[in-house]
Structure 1
Amino acid sequence: MLKKAFTVLAGTMVAAAVCAAGAAQLRSNHPDSYTVRRGDTLWGISAKFLVKPWLWPEIWQANPQVRNPHLIYPGDVLNLSFINGASLKLEPSLHREGAAVPAIPLDALKTFLKDLRVMDSSAVSKAPYVVGLEENRLDGAPGQNIYVRGLDSQPGQRWAIVRPEHVFRGFDNGSDGTAIYGDELYANAALVKSPWEEDFNNGSGHYLRGRDMGLEVKVIGTAEMLRPGDPSTLLVVDSTSEIHKGDRLMPVNDNPYDPYFYPHAPQSLPKDGRVIAFTGAMDAVGPYQVVALSVGAKDGVDNGTTFAVWHPGEYIHDDVAGNSWRRGVGPHVTLPDEYIGHLMVFRTFDHVSYGLVMDGLRPVKKGDKLKLPD
Structure 2
Amino acid sequence: MKKLPIPARRPNLSASLAALAVVAAGGVGTTAWAQNYPITPQQRATAQQTAQAGVPLSELAPNAPDEYTVKPGDTLWAISRLYLLRPWRWPELWGMNINEIANPHRIYPGQVLYLDKSGGRARLTTRRGAGGGEGGTIKLTPRTRFDSLAGMALPTLNPSLIEPFLSEPIVVDENTLQAAPRIVAGNDSRVLLSRGDRAYARGEKDTPLVEVPGPLQHYRVFRSATPLKDPGTGEILGYEAQYLGKVRLQRGESTTVETKDDKDYITVVPATVDVIAAREEIRAGDRLLPEPPRQLLSYAPRAPSTQVEGRIVSVYGNAVQFAAQNQVVAINKGTRDGIDSGHVLAILKNGETILDRTGEKKETIKLPNERIGLLMVFRPFEKVSYALVLEINDTPRAGDFIVNP
TM-score by length of 1: 0.76
Alpha-carbon distance change, 167 to 267 in structure 1, aligned in 2, over 3 angstroms: farther
Q: CA deviation at 1:279?
A: 4.0
Q: Where does 1:213-224 land on structure 2 (aligned, <5 Å)?
A: 213-224=238-249
Picking from 262, 266, 286, the partner of 1:247 is 286
Q: Where does 1:189-338 land on structure 2 (aligned, <5 Å)?
A: 211=236, 213-229=238-254, 230-240=268-278, 241-255=280-294, 258=297, 260-279=298-317, 282-323=320-361, 330-338=362-370
CA–CA separation in structure 1 for the residues paired with 2:126 and 2:220: 45
Picking from 45, 48, 59, the partner of 1:25 is 59
Q: Where does 1:334-373 land on structure 2 (aligned, <5 Å)?
A: 334-373=366-405
What amino acid does structure 2 have at the position aligned with 1:249?
A: L
Q: CA deviation at 1:233?
A: 2.2
In proportion to residue count, which structure has more strand? 2
1:73 matched residue in structure 2: 108
Alpha-carbon distance change, 30 to 227 in structure 1, aligned in 2, over 3 angstroms: closer
CA–CA separation in structure 2 for the residues paired with 1:219 and 1:57: 39
Contact 1:284 1:365 in 2 (8 A): yes
Alpha-carbon distance change, 129 to 123 in structure 1, aligned in 2, over 3 angstroms: same
Picking from 158, 161, 167, the partner of 2:220 is 161
Alpha-carbon distance change, 14 to 227 in structure 1, aligned in 2, over 3 angstroms: closer
1:35 paired to 2:69: yes
Q: Where does 1:166-177 land on structure 2 (aligned, <5 Å)?
A: 166-170=225-229
Q: CA deviation at 1:125?
A: 0.7
Tell me whether 59-68 or 75-84 shows the greater mean CA deviation: 59-68
Q: Which runs of 5+ in 1 are unaligned?
A: 1-11, 173-177, 181-209, 324-329
CA–CA separation in structure 1 for the residues paired with 2:103 and 2:313: 32
1:108 matched residue in structure 2: 161
Alpha-carbon distance change, 14 to 73 in structure 1, aligned in 2, over 3 angstroms: closer
Tell me whether 158-167 or 128-137 shows the greater mean CA deviation: 158-167
Output one character per residue of 1:55-77: Cα deviation in whole Å (capped at 9) or x when no partner: 22332145313455542111011
Q: Which has the larger radius of gyration?
A: 2
1:139 matched residue in structure 2: 192
CA–CA separation in structure 1 for the residues paired with 2:229 and 2:189: 40
Instruction: Give the superposed CA RMSD.
Output: 3.0
2:84 matched residue in structure 1: 50
1:86 matched residue in structure 2: 122
Contact 1:74 1:96 in 2 (8 A): no
Q: CA deviation at 1:267?
A: 2.7
TM-score by length of 2: 0.70
Contact 1:179 1:272 in 2 (8 A): no
Contact 1:275 1:370 in 2 (8 A): no
Alpha-carbon distance change, 106 to 312 in structure 1, aligned in 2, over 3 angstroms: same
Q: Which runs of 5+ in 2 are unaligned?
A: 1-45, 129-142, 255-267
1:191 matched residue in structure 2: none
Percent of matched pairs sharing the same residue = 31
CA–CA separation in structure 1 for the residues paired with 2:58 and 2:89: 6
